[in-house]
Structure 1
Amino acid sequence: MIRKIEMQNMGKSNLGWLRSIFHFSFAGYYNPNNMNFGVLRVINDDLIDQEEGFDTHPHKDMEIISYVVDGELTHADSMGNKRSLKRGQVQYMSAGTGVYHSEHNYGNEILRILQIWILPDKNGYTPHYGDYMFDWNLRKDKWLKIVSGQTGDAPIKINQDVNIYVLELDNEKEIELAVKKNRQAYLVQIEGESDINGVQLSPKDALEITEENILVKSNGVSHYLVIEMKLQD
């Protein structure tokens, strides 16, 4: 089963320096029928102006992944980490028992990131931070697995049974993705347009997929992110 979610129907926020699209209830956008998709709690598509960002604030008991679409993201946290990442690179943080962090745009263009929150398999983990500088070409016309659970094979491992993939698909190319029995997935059309099992997606649209294999056909160069996980009742 698949279900399209159009960008126009998602939550929105405009603080001037920050323009956000909320895939699920967040901040001033609250919809009791749209709180999560399985263990996926948040996807925020954020545009952040230069010299702006999220000042130091706390998190607890959440697995947090940031995927840089455009610009440069600078992270700092209470564990002593400070890093800057660019297009296609990924940072992750297990907030666990509690951590403070900040995220800013100190680059020379508007920053676009996908901010992803995943519920952990239990509370109380020791906080942890990491990042990975993926070669962009590793996702060209093939699924690049960037995140997995602790027993998985991705370079980034988090405390939940999920797999996160990214892909850049050239014009008129096709690729399959298997979403097996007792599994579900959430796909974000980051850039470009496509046809997925006969459903047309435009930039920033999304697709819920439950126990169904998909065939992705690109219309122009397209960029995707998929979060695949255990099916939740």
Structure 2
Amino acid sequence: MNAYLHRSEDRGHVKMGWLDTKHSFSFGNWYNPKYMGVSALRVINDDRIAAHNGFGTHPHDNMEILTCVLSGTISHRDSMGNERHITAGEWQLMSAGTGVQHSEINNGDEEVHMLQIWIQPNVRDAEPTYQQIQRDPNTAPNQWHLIVGPNDNAPMHIRQQAEVKAAVLETGHRLEVTATQAVNYVHVIRGEITIGEQTVKAGDALLFADNAVIEAKEDSQFIWFDLPKQ
């Protein structure tokens, strides 16, 4: 299997007061020309946000912005009129389209741990939309949980020929990666897995084009991005 291992230690690490974040790809003040994204996947930010802090109101356009809350609760407000709380085990997809302003604030007393994921759309200047679901793979391990996709069978619709799936895999269990698109990118949140002959640990990601089998060396959680060729 031809594969490229993106190691956790190669991510950008930015710590500034209330925010401790690791960037899989170039973002903000951290730039590395080797890491500019994979296919339509442009951003994976592993954010830890201190209590009573967060991202104030700021704009986005023409980006599919997926938020996965791993612990704590983040409060969302946007110019579409949405005011929602996203708790651990929930996912939010904001299609920024022609433009939207939003804020993400940790109003609680504990740190929030979340992933912010940006995927470039295949339709520009569409009407902005907001979607949110509860889909915690910890409650049903050892299977794929579809989070977003381009078709009606997906719980949240994304403006791109891509699927995002999440899983928790218990030690010794296996899952198959059977791609519908051209590029697979598996990002490990916690634990340690093998994909083919590659060992992939927490914070690592593996880029590969073939179908494969994932085996958990310890209890693990990860996300699979099934992406188009670009």
TM-score by length of 1: 0.94
2:223: which partner in 1? 225
What is the CA-CA distance between 1:202 and the residue it aligns to? 1.6
Does the alignment pair 1:22 with 2:20?
A: no
Unaligned runs of 5+ in 1: none
* SS of aligned partner of 1:90: strand
2:191 is aligned with 1:199? no
Equivalent residue for 1:147?
148
TM alignment of 1:174-193, pairs within 5 A: 174-179=174-179, 183-193=182-192
Instruction: Say if 2:118 is the partner of 1:120.
Output: no
Q: 2:160 — aligned with what?
A: 160
**Structure 1 contact 52–105 (Cα < 8 Å) conserved:** yes
> Counterpart of 1:170?
170
Which stretch shifts more, 88-97 or 102-111?
102-111
> CA offsets per residue over residues 200-226 of structure 1, 9 Å max, x none?
12211111122x112111122100111
Q: 1:103-160: CA deviations, max 9, x gaps?
A: 01123321111101111112110111111112545641100001001x2411100111
Q: Residues of 2 paired with 1:148 and 1:120: CA distance?
A: 12
How high is the sequence identity, in percent, across the aligned residues?
Answer: 36
> Cα–Cα, structure 1 residues 17 and 137, in superposed 2: closer, same or farther, change >3 Å?
closer
CA positional deviation for 1:173: 1.0
Aligned residues: 229
Counterpart residue type for residue 176 of structure 1: E
Letter in 2 for 1:32: P
Amino acid at match of 2:60: H
What is the rounded CA distance, in whole Å, between the counterparts of 2:126 and 2:139 in structure 1? 31
C-alpha contact 2:18 2:49 (8 A) present in aligned 1: yes
- More moved, 135-144 vs 44-53: 135-144
- What are the Cα deviations for residues 31-60 of structure 1, in whole angstroms up to 9, with x where unaligned? 223211001111111111111110000001
Q: Is the 2:137–2:166 Cα contact (8 Å) retained in structure 1? A: no
The equivalent of 2:40 in structure 1 is 39
The CA deviation at 1:86 is: 1.6
- 1:216 maps to what in 2? 214
Deviation of residue 168 (structure 1)? Answer: 0.4
Q: Answer yes or no: is the 8 Å Cα contact 2:137–2:145 preserved in 1.
A: no
Cα 1:70–1:135 change in 2 (3 A) is closer
Cα separation, partners in 2 of 1:9 and 1:208, compared to 1, 3 Å = same
CA drift at 1:179: 2.6
The residue that corresponds to 1:100 in the other structure is: 101
| 1:138–1:144 contact (8 Å) kept in structure 2 | no
Q: Determine if contact 1:71/1:108 at 8 Å carries over to the other structure.
A: no
User: What's the C-alpha RMSD, in Å, of the aligned pairs?
Assistant: 1.4
Aligned to 2:9, the other structure's residue is in SS state helix
Shift of 1:20: 0.9
Larger mean Cα displacement after TM superposition, 124-133 or 137-146: 137-146
